[in-house]
Amino acid sequence: MITLNRIKETKISKLIEDYPFLISFFEDNDLDITSKENLEIAEYFASFDEDEIEDKAIDGERYIMQIFEFINQMIAFLGQEEDNVQSISILPGNDKSGNREKFDKFTIKKGEIICIVGPTGSGKSRLLGDIEWVAQNDTPTNRKILVNEAKPDTKWRFSSSDKLVAQLSQNMNFVMDLSVYEFVELHAESRMVENKEDVINRIIEKANQLAGEQFTIDTPITSLSGGQSRTLMIADTAILSKSPIILIDEIENAGIDRKEALNLLLSEDKIVLMATHDPILALLGDKRIVIKNGGIDKIIETTDKEREILSELEELDRTLLSFRSRLRKGEILKK
Amino acid sequence: MNLITVSGPPSSGKTAVILKTIESLKKRNLKVAVAKFDCLYTDDDILYKKAGIPVKKGLSGALCPDHYFVSNVEEITKWGLDNNFDILISESAGLCNRCSPYIKGIKAICVIDNLSGINTPKKIGPMLKSADIVVITKGDIVSQAEREVFASRVNTVNPAATIMHINGLTGQGSFELSTLLYSEEDHVDSLKGKELRFPMPAALCSYCLGETRIGESYQMGNVRKMKLDD
């Protein structure tokens, strides 16, 4: 591994040859290296005059430290095997009144859908927070989280690229003004995926399979409908996000094939946690966690009997949707 | 006492993050106070008072807010020490993206929000680039993809920082931040002899002194011209 002192004495051109990702470091820090490639790093930072140093707030020592840090992070990131998170286990803690939660160990495996139910303010976000922060009896609930049945790596807490949980929230917006393609491309670049183009096209194709109405790669993201934005985000998160757990905050029943959306996430080996009070979604789950007074009150396994209701509900759902689409087409509604 | 400097662009959620984080600190029986620095107006001191947090407010008015901060931080620290607080948090808004109130050896937190656009990390100077912890807010209203892109851009300009996501409204993430704030070893007795992490830019021209007329003959002191010929 390259040392701090070695970095100082290495020519910029050589560093970039060895670590091409440094180009984005120089660009994002607004450090112009054109025609200075032959300088050693220390010489480069010494080449700025006083005005430049003051205007651009250049601190050579700090930049060199950061280059060192960045190189090490990127090497770790690029050489990383895909994280193989097979399961997450929750060990019991306490509810808001200090009562111990009534389960021994709850393990969620890859490919499972777990629903979380309970009134607002009951502690759903805290449970999620515990998972995200891989609690080790050091959060207000005193829960403990295991990854693959073992004490988790601290990187899940502090690394900016390794997050356990990706969140798909109900009321998200796009604040950027880009086309669908450019938007997904930006995400793909930040994840540094190879064969970028294939990945982007696959995401857009998948999203369109889930969406009621189609969109193209040139559609501006800000003009996508609610349903289309959700399908794009689900496909993007399923395929591009590195997080092994996906938390979904309700999927509104409009312009999106919800069952297929969940299947897509599962086919990409995700663990799905879903906060929902929609009976169809809840019954699609394998189990559901009931939260009360800040603690896990019950864990209910979906039974076959409950699933019988599901087909009935799905029938109702289809009826509702067909009326909706007839309404959209301008038809007169009749039985 | 631990001193912590928090800064960030206006309306990024500094006060909300601090308030939620203090809730968690109080549960550990730590006495926390806030010194709020702003430019022309703030009523955040009322929010702190309402939450039962001792607060001092400073408005820089016609002075450069960051220069005003440095000129007062020693006295503020003394106030904190005299009152036996465990933690004193200074909160100040970064207004011109060039200065930063961070002090060597004092924990520095920068708060920025997802809504400010993905090029923002590039535009903010030392306030972001030399922070120890970067808190990103308003993640609940943007997409997962934007959150990831934004965080990765922050990481590129400040690879050494710990990046945290906090929802200032619900407080999600603030407990986690609170665990990184207090440590007995970070005790400060005084700021005498301490130094800023970054020099603040010098600007002293006739307009600093109240000149209002436009034209070269009225410009004196530290004046610089744009390069207009290509």
List domains and CATH numbers for chain A.
4-78 (no CATH), 87-302 (3.40.50.300)
Residue B23, both tokens? 């809730």
pLDDT for residue A163:
85
Q: Is the pLDDT of residue B164 over 80?
A: yes
Name the token pair of A167: 């969140």
For residue B155, the chain A residue with the least C-alpha distance is A160
Residue type, A93: G
Provide the pLDDT for residue A82.
64
Across chain B, mean pLDDT equals: 90
Q: Report whether A132 contacts A165 (CB < 8 A).
A: yes
pLDDT > 80? residue A20: yes
* Three-state DSSP state, A157: helix
- What pLDDT sits at residue A192? 83
Give mean pLDDT, residues A248-271: 85
pLDDT above 80: residue A80 = no
Cβ distance of A233 and B155 shorter than 8 Å: no
Give pLDDT tens digits for A22-46. Answer: 988 898 888 999 899 899 999 999 9
Residue type, B155: N
Share of chain B above pLDDT 70, in %: 99
Q: If we measure between CA atoms, which residue out of A27, A19, A90 comes closest to residue A273?
A: A90
Contacts of B157 in chain A (CB under 8 A): 28-29
Contact (CB<8Å) B142/A59: no
Q: At what angle do helices A258-267 and A226-240 cross, to 10 degrees?
A: 10
Rg of chain A over Cα atoms, rounded to whole angstroms, equals: 25
Q: What is the largest CA-CA distance in chain A?
A: 81
List residues in chain B touching A: CB distance below 8 A. 24, 27, 98, 114-115, 117-118, 121-122, 125-126, 129-130, 139-146, 148-149, 151-160, 162-163, 170, 172-173, 175-176, 179, 198-199, 201-202
Structure tokens at A176: 């950027």
Which of A24, A59, A169 lies closest to B198 in CB terms? A59
Best CA proximity match to B76, nearest among B17, B1, B11, B157: B1
* Nearest CA among B91, B90, B110, B108 for reference residue B166: B110
Interface test with B, best of A28, A55, A58, A249 (most B CBs within 10 A): A28
What does the DSSP 8-state code read for residue A162?
-
Using the predicted structure, report yes or no on whether residue A79 has a pLDDT greater than 70.
no
Question: In degrees rounded to 5, what are phi and psi of residue A138?
Answer: -125, 25
Give the DSSP per-residue string, A173-185: B--S--BHHHHHH
| Distance to chain B for A260, nearest Cα, Å | 20
What is the distance between the alpha carbons of residues A14 and A18, in angstroms, rounded to a whole number? Answer: 6
- Are A274 and A285 in contact, with CB atoms under 8 Å apart? yes
pLDDT of B202 reads: 64
Mean pLDDT, range A133-149, rounded to an integer: 91
pLDDT value of residue B128: 93
- Tell me what the pLDDT averaged over chain A comes to: 88
Is the pLDDT score of A334 beyond 90? no
Please report, as a single letter, which amino acid is at residue B159.
P
ipTM of the complex: 0.80
Tokens of B178: 């609170």
Reduced to 3 states, what is the DSSP secondary structure of residue A274? strand
**Residue A188 and residue A241: Cα distance in Å, rounded?**
9
Is the model's pLDDT at B32 over the cut of 90? yes
Comparing A118-122, A216-220, B166-170, B226-230, which segment has the lowest mean pLDDT? B226-230
Mean pLDDT along residues A68-90: 82
More confident residue, A241 or B209: A241
Q: How confident is the model at residue A179 (pLDDT cuts 50, 70, 90)?
A: very high
Q: A277 pLDDT exceeds 80?
A: yes
- What is the band of A317 on the pLDDT scale with cuts at 50, 70, 90? confident
Question: In angstroms, what separates the C-alpha of B123 from chain A's closest C-alpha?
Answer: 9
> Cβ contacts (< 8 Å) between B175 and chain A: which residues?
129, 133, 139-140
Q: Three-state SS for B39? A: coil
Please state the length of chain A. Answer: 335
CA distance B106 to B196: 10
Residue B8 reports pLDDT greater than 80: yes
Class of domain B2-201 as given by CATH = alpha beta
